[in-house]
Amino acid sequence: MLDNKPPVLTIDGPGGAGKGTISRLAAGKLGWHYLDSGALYRLLGLSATEHGTSVDDETGLCELALSLQIRFGAGQDESVYLDEREVSHLIRTEQAGTMASKVAAWPGVRAALLDRQRRFRQMPGLVADGRDMGTVVFSDAARKIFLTASAEERAERRYKQLIAKGIDVKIGDLLADIQTRDERDSQRAVAPLKPADDAVVVDTTAVSYTHLTLPT
């Protein structure tokens, strides 16, 4: 059956597997739009912290999710704005990731962010990066990738990134954070982290990104 919906390439997987890097690269090469769905949950987590909304208050979080004023930089510009305030660095901390994963576990929150994510599907196409892009949000996408790597490898990559930025961290703490987040994301009742049945699973544990070839 022919439909006129813009094409979507979904790239799902656990945190630190390189989805962001690969998705931006793919979007740039294809000239498509890019959705960083994790940033939406991170922004909601930040907004909840700033408004004093508890991570246990599903109703309050849903209201916040519906009213979030957010904006992303265009193209390769990775800036993210909340209420026109640049919060790009604030949402990238480990704490922001943990907060995001807590608010993301609520079914109501996920439902509240669904339309907002689907509105990114515009011509000429969309590369959508997240946990449930291929299973829920764009389940009709023609191309789905599930990008993964061992927790140890992901912790080591993150460690190197942070040390290079002069941020002092312990690799054991990073590994523990990653494992806790993986478990919360995989065990939740709604839209858990898992490959779509029709996804191509790519394990990058032993691969540097420069050796990956994306499907054409």
Q: Which residues bind ligand C5P (CB under 6 A)?
A: 15, 37-38, 41-42, 97, 100-101, 104, 130-132, 181, 185
| Token couple for 182 | 């993986």
User: What contacts 24+ positions apart, CB below 8 Å, involve 88-96?
Assistant: 90/46, 91/39, 91/42, 91/43, 91/45, 91/46, 92/42, 94/174, 94/177, 96/42, 96/45, 96/46
CA distance 130 to 5: 20
Q: Please, what is the minimum distance in Å from the beta carbon of residue 155 to ligand C5P?
A: 14
Pairing mode, strands 143-148 and 126-130:
unpaired
Cβ proximity to ligand C5P, 1 vs 119, nearer residue: 119
Q: Please, what is the minimum distance in Å from the beta carbon of residue 1 to ligand C5P?
A: 27
CA distance 70 to 90: 14
The residue nearest ligand C5P at its CB is 38
Cβ proximity to ligand C5P, 33 vs 131, nearer residue: 131
Cβ proximity to ligand C5P, 55 vs 104, nearer residue: 104
Q: Please, what is the minimum distance in Å from the beta carbon of residue 134 to ligand C5P?
A: 10
Q: Please, what is the minimum distance in Å from the beta carbon of residue 130 to ligand C5P?
A: 3
Cβ proximity to ligand C5P, 13 vs 32, nearer residue: 13
CA distance 174 to 80: 24
Cβ proximity to ligand C5P, 104 vs 199, nearer residue: 104
Residues present in the chain in total: 216
User: What contacts 24+ positions apart, CB below 8 Å, involve 71-77?
Assistant: 72/36, 72/39, 75/28, 76/24, 76/28
The burial of 169, by beta-carbon neighbours within 10 Å (0-12 exposed, 13-18 middle, 19 or more buried), is given as middle
Cβ proximity to ligand C5P, 3 vs 113, nearer residue: 113
Q: Please, what is the minimum distance in Å from the beta carbon of residue 173 to ligand C5P?
A: 16
Q: Please, what is the minimum distance in Å from the beta carbon of residue 123 to ligand C5P?
A: 22
